[in-house]
Protein backbone atom coordinates (compact mmCIF):
# COMPACT_ATOMS: atom_id res chain seq x y z
CA UNK A 1 0.00 0.00 0.00
CA UNK A 2 1.28 3.47 -0.90
CA UNK A 3 1.48 5.95 1.98
CA UNK A 4 0.81 9.58 1.15
CA UNK A 5 1.97 12.67 2.94
CA UNK A 6 -0.96 14.57 4.54
CA UNK A 7 -0.51 17.54 2.19
CA UNK A 8 -0.74 15.19 -0.79
CA UNK A 9 -4.06 13.84 0.51
CA UNK A 10 -5.34 17.33 1.19
CA UNK A 11 -4.58 18.48 -2.32
CA UNK A 12 -6.01 15.27 -3.79
CA UNK A 13 -9.27 16.22 -2.10
CA UNK A 14 -9.32 19.22 -4.45
CA UNK A 15 -9.39 16.87 -7.40
CA UNK A 16 -12.59 18.46 -8.67
CA UNK A 17 -10.51 21.61 -9.19
CA UNK A 18 -8.09 19.99 -11.63
CA UNK A 19 -6.56 22.00 -14.42
CA UNK A 20 -4.97 19.23 -16.49
CA UNK A 21 -6.74 16.20 -17.91
CA UNK A 22 -5.07 12.84 -18.54
CA UNK A 23 -7.11 12.19 -21.69
CA UNK A 24 -6.07 15.54 -23.14
CA UNK A 25 -2.43 14.87 -22.24
CA UNK A 26 -2.50 11.46 -23.98
CA UNK A 27 -4.28 12.96 -26.99
CA UNK A 28 -1.56 15.63 -27.30
CA UNK A 29 1.09 12.93 -26.84
CA UNK A 30 -0.50 10.95 -29.69
CA UNK A 31 -0.91 13.81 -32.19
CA UNK A 32 2.61 15.06 -31.56
CA UNK A 33 4.08 11.95 -33.16
CA UNK A 34 3.74 9.71 -30.10
CA UNK A 35 5.25 12.45 -27.97
CA UNK A 36 8.16 13.34 -30.24
CA UNK A 37 7.09 16.99 -30.58
CA UNK A 38 6.32 17.35 -26.86
CA UNK A 39 2.86 18.98 -27.13
CA UNK A 40 1.81 17.17 -23.96
CA UNK A 41 4.75 18.69 -22.09
CA UNK A 42 3.79 22.22 -23.15
CA UNK A 43 0.23 21.44 -22.00
CA UNK A 44 1.52 20.43 -18.54
CA UNK A 45 3.51 23.67 -18.23
CA UNK A 46 6.88 22.01 -18.86
CA UNK A 47 8.05 24.48 -21.48
CA UNK A 48 11.75 23.65 -21.18
CA UNK A 49 11.36 19.93 -21.72
CA UNK A 50 8.69 20.61 -24.33
CA UNK A 51 11.28 22.47 -26.37
CA UNK A 52 13.85 19.75 -25.72
CA UNK A 53 11.40 17.08 -26.92
CA UNK A 54 10.51 19.17 -29.97
CA UNK A 55 14.11 19.67 -31.11
CA UNK A 56 15.38 16.19 -30.22
CA UNK A 57 12.43 14.12 -31.36
CA UNK A 58 11.49 13.23 -27.81
CA UNK A 59 15.11 12.44 -26.97
CA UNK A 60 15.30 10.00 -29.83
CA UNK A 61 12.09 8.24 -28.81
CA UNK A 62 13.29 7.28 -25.32
CA UNK A 63 11.58 10.28 -23.79
CA UNK A 64 8.41 9.39 -25.68
CA UNK A 65 8.39 5.91 -24.18
CA UNK A 66 9.10 7.36 -20.73
CA UNK A 67 6.15 9.76 -21.12
CA UNK A 68 3.85 6.95 -22.28
CA UNK A 69 4.45 5.16 -18.99
CA UNK A 70 4.64 8.15 -16.62
CA UNK A 71 2.05 10.52 -18.09
CA UNK A 72 -0.59 9.75 -15.41
CA UNK A 73 1.91 10.70 -12.69
CA UNK A 74 2.98 13.82 -14.60
CA UNK A 75 -0.64 14.99 -14.94
CA UNK A 76 -1.29 14.30 -11.23
CA UNK A 77 1.85 16.27 -10.26
CA UNK A 78 0.90 19.17 -12.54
CA UNK A 79 -2.55 19.27 -10.93
CA UNK A 80 -1.02 19.14 -7.45
CA UNK A 81 1.33 22.00 -8.28
CA UNK A 82 -1.58 24.01 -9.67
CA UNK A 83 -3.72 23.34 -6.58
CA UNK A 84 -0.82 24.26 -4.29
CA UNK A 85 -0.27 27.55 -6.15
CA UNK A 86 -3.97 28.33 -5.83
CA UNK A 87 -4.03 27.37 -2.14
CA UNK A 88 -1.20 29.73 -1.23
CA UNK A 89 -2.66 32.63 -3.13
CA UNK A 90 -0.84 32.92 -6.41
CA UNK A 91 -2.97 35.15 -8.61
CA UNK A 92 -3.26 35.62 -12.35
CA UNK A 93 -1.70 32.23 -13.03
CA UNK A 94 -2.38 31.43 -16.64
CA UNK A 95 -1.56 28.44 -18.81
CA UNK A 96 1.22 30.24 -20.68
CA UNK A 97 3.01 31.66 -17.66
CA UNK A 98 4.78 28.45 -16.62
CA UNK A 99 5.69 28.34 -12.96
CA UNK A 100 6.29 32.06 -12.48
CA UNK A 101 3.94 33.22 -9.71
CA UNK A 102 2.22 36.57 -9.65
CA UNK A 103 1.71 37.29 -5.98
CA UNK A 104 0.15 40.43 -4.62
CA UNK A 105 2.80 42.28 -2.61
CA UNK A 106 2.06 42.65 1.10
CA UNK A 107 0.21 45.82 2.06
CA UNK A 108 2.47 48.51 3.52
CA UNK A 109 1.56 50.05 6.89
CA UNK A 110 0.97 53.40 5.16
CA UNK A 111 -1.53 51.80 2.79
CA UNK A 112 -3.27 50.09 5.72
CA UNK A 113 -3.53 53.47 7.48
CA UNK A 114 -5.02 55.16 4.41
CA UNK A 115 -7.46 52.29 3.81
CA UNK A 116 -8.61 52.51 7.46
CA UNK A 117 -8.92 56.29 7.28
CA UNK A 118 -11.09 56.03 4.19
CA UNK A 119 -13.29 53.40 5.81
CA UNK A 120 -13.58 55.31 9.12
CA UNK A 121 -14.55 58.78 7.91
CA UNK A 122 -10.95 60.00 8.11
CA UNK A 123 -10.26 58.88 11.69
CA UNK A 124 -7.67 56.27 12.71
CA UNK A 125 -6.14 55.24 16.03
CA UNK A 126 -2.81 53.51 16.62
CA UNK A 127 -4.60 50.45 17.98
CA UNK A 128 -6.66 50.05 14.81
CA UNK A 129 -3.57 50.33 12.64
CA UNK A 130 -1.64 47.84 14.81
CA UNK A 131 -4.40 45.25 14.47
CA UNK A 132 -4.96 45.70 10.74
CA UNK A 133 -1.29 45.93 9.74
CA UNK A 134 -0.13 43.22 12.16
CA UNK A 135 2.49 45.52 13.69
CA UNK A 136 3.18 46.73 17.22
CA UNK A 137 1.35 49.74 18.62
CA UNK A 138 4.70 51.55 18.84
CA UNK A 139 5.32 50.97 15.13
CA UNK A 140 1.77 52.06 14.32
CA UNK A 141 2.28 55.21 16.38
CA UNK A 142 5.56 55.89 14.56
CA UNK A 143 3.91 55.47 11.15
CA UNK A 144 1.02 57.76 12.12
CA UNK A 145 3.40 60.39 13.53
CA UNK A 146 5.36 60.36 10.26
CA UNK A 147 2.17 61.05 8.31
CA UNK A 148 1.27 63.84 10.73
CA UNK A 149 4.74 65.41 10.32
CA UNK A 150 4.27 65.36 6.55
CA UNK A 151 0.98 67.22 6.98
CA UNK A 152 -1.12 64.35 5.65
CA UNK A 153 -2.84 63.75 8.99
CA UNK A 154 -3.73 65.87 11.99
CA UNK A 155 -3.44 64.70 15.59
CA UNK A 156 -6.71 65.29 17.43
CA UNK A 157 -8.10 64.32 20.82
CA UNK A 158 -11.56 62.86 21.21
CA UNK A 159 -13.72 63.97 24.11
CA UNK A 160 -12.85 60.59 25.73
CA UNK A 161 -9.14 61.49 25.64
CA UNK A 162 -8.18 59.04 22.89
CA UNK A 163 -5.62 60.28 20.35
CA UNK A 164 -7.01 60.12 16.85
CA UNK A 165 -5.20 60.78 13.62
CA UNK A 166 -7.50 62.69 11.35
CA UNK A 167 -7.22 62.60 7.55
CA UNK A 168 -9.33 65.50 6.26
CA UNK A 169 -9.44 64.21 2.70
CA UNK A 170 -11.40 61.13 3.83
CA UNK A 171 -13.76 62.97 6.19
CA UNK A 172 -17.36 63.87 5.50
CA UNK A 173 -17.66 65.91 8.68
CA UNK A 174 -15.39 67.37 11.33
CA UNK A 175 -16.92 66.73 14.76
CA UNK A 176 -16.23 65.09 18.14
CA UNK A 177 -12.78 66.67 18.64
CA UNK A 178 -11.39 68.81 21.43
CA UNK A 179 -9.00 71.51 20.19
The pLDDT tens digits of the residues spanning 31-61 come to: 999 989 999 999 998 999 999 999 998 888 8
Domain assignment of residue 164, given as a range: 109-178
Number of domains, the chain: 2
Of 61, 86, 173, the closest CA to residue 123 belongs to 173
Lowest mean pLDDT among 12-26, 68-82, 142-156: 12-26
Identify whether 103 is part of a domain.
Answer: no
Least confident window among 8-12, 57-61, 134-138: 8-12
Residues 120 and 172 in one domain: yes
Q: For position 172, what pLDDT does the model report?
A: 80
Check: pTM over 0.85? Answer yes or no: no
Q: H-helix or E-strand containing 177? A: strand 177-178
Give yes or no for residue 76 having a pLDDT over 70.
Answer: yes
Task: Report the chain's C-alpha Rg in angstroms.
Answer: 27
Are residues 130 and 71 part of one domain?
A: no
Examine the domain organization and report whether 27 and 80 are in the same domain.
yes
Which CATH number goes with the domain that contains 155?
1.10.10.10
Determine the Cα–Cα distance for residues 94 and 158; give it in Å rounded to an integer. Answer: 50
* Cβ partners under 8 Å of residue 101, min gap 6: 85, 90, 93
**Mean residue pLDDT across the chain:** 81
> Is there a domain that residue 24 lies in?
yes
User: Do 60 and 136 share a domain, yes or no?
Assistant: no
Quick one: pLDDT at residue 99?
A: 47
In the prediction, which pLDDT does 65 show?
A: 92
Would the pLDDT of 15 be above 60?
no
- Higher local confidence (pLDDT), 103 or 66: 66
Angle, CA of 8, 99 and 42, to the nearest 5°: 100
Instruction: Please give the average per-residue pLDDT across 72-97, as a whole number.
Output: 71
Confidence label for 82 from pLDDT (cuts 50, 70 and 90): confident
> To the nearest whole percent, how much of the chain has pLDDT over 90?
46
C-alpha closest to that of 170 among 110, 121, 116: 121
What is the structure's pLDDT at 104?
A: 61
Does a structural domain hold residue 50?
Answer: yes
Amino acid sequence: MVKYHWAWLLILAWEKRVRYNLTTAYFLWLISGFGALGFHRFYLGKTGTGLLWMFSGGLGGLGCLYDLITLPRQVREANLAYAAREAIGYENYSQGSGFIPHMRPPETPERVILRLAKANNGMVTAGEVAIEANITIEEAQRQLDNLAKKGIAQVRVRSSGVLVYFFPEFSKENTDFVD
